[in-house]
Amino acid sequence: MKLKDIINTLNELAPMQYSEAWDNPGLLIGDEEKEIHKVYVAVDATTDVIEAAHEAGADLILTHHPLIFHPVRRVSTDSHVGRRIMKIISYGMSLFAMHTDFDVTCMGTEAASLLDLIEIKILEPTFSEELGLGAMGYLKEDLTLKELAEQVKLNFEVPAVKIYGDLEDTIVKVAILPGSGSSGIDTAVSEGCDVLITGDIGHHDGIDAIEKGINIIDAGHFGIEKIFIRIMKLYIGNTMKELEVIEDGAQKDFIIL
């Protein structure tokens, strides 16, 4: 299947016009006329991911985060990004990223569904009431903050979470904002949510959230956003059956001792 046809099908799920102006999704490395047989799906194009994709015989690496984000003035071994770009090209692979376009169309609602929330709505609408960042909804039955944290660990397959709040608080309404979610705290408060599940929450944002009356469950940036891999494997399997899809197992989250 030609790369250009794969791109058209990916854009049906997450059209690039929904990406943020500062973002850089899309085809970052490659020839649209190239024939693709095997796709390696990952969150980031790390060196380990690139090597694993090459060893698996992949023609295309599909990531959530763009490897080329800031302007690149030169491609050389003097930088981590340059070395990765050169490695991808030397291996004859292509690289495509689906970032905020995917966040707006899929990530939040898929994360909310994974928690089995009901009456799901977008947390921060951007293009319409149905398109935006994050999601919110109600638990089917009330849980304590501790019980919900255990459910988050189980459903998102993370070994630990960081919590700001009272473990015995009753949780009814939940907001979830995959990635770095401190920007969603005030919105979640205004929407009457009892907890925000997100990642990359710093000390001051956490204690301020408690003062504002909302609990925080920090499951990590990678911890939540790795659902991208499962979602895209399922989507490609349903829409482009001729392609072989490989789920990344090379990238690891930080370690808590």
CA distance 71 to 13: 27
Q: What is the mean pLDDT of residues 1-13?
A: 98
In 3D space, the residue among 189, 204, 193, 144 whose CA is nearest the CA of residue 170 turns out to be 144
Its pTM surpasses 0.85: yes
Task: Compute the Cα dihedral for 209, 210, 213, 219 and give only its sign.
Answer: positive
The two counts, helices (H) then strands (E), for the chain are 10, 11
The reported pLDDT for the residue numbered 257 is 85
Whose tokens are 């690496």? That residue is 61
Reported as a single tens digit per residue, the pLDDT across 72-100 is: 999 999 999 999 999 999 999 999 999 99
| Residue 79 tokens, joined | 């930088």
In 3D space, the residue among 21, 61, 67 whose CA is nearest the CA of residue 38 turns out to be 61
Please, which pLDDT band fits residue 223 given cuts at 50, 70 and 90?
A: very high
Reported as a single tens digit per residue, the pLDDT across 236-253 is: 999 999 999 999 999 999
Q: What is the mean pLDDT of residues 172-193?
A: 98
Reported as a single tens digit per residue, the pLDDT across 161-182 is: 999 999 999 999 999 999 999 9
Rounded to 5 degrees, φ, ψ at 228 are: -50, -40
Count the Cβ atoms, other than its own, within 10 Å of residue 77.
9
Please, which pLDDT band fits residue 256 given cuts at 50, 70 and 90?
A: confident
Q: What is the mean pLDDT of the chain?
A: 97
Q: Which domains does the chain have, with CATH numbers?
A: 3-98 (3.40.1390.30), 101-223 (3.40.1390.30)
Helix axes 47-55, 80-90, angle to 10 degrees: 10
Q: What is the DSSP string of 224-251?
A: HHTHHHHHHHHHHHHH-TTSEEEE--S-
Q: What is the mean pLDDT of residues 32-49?
A: 98
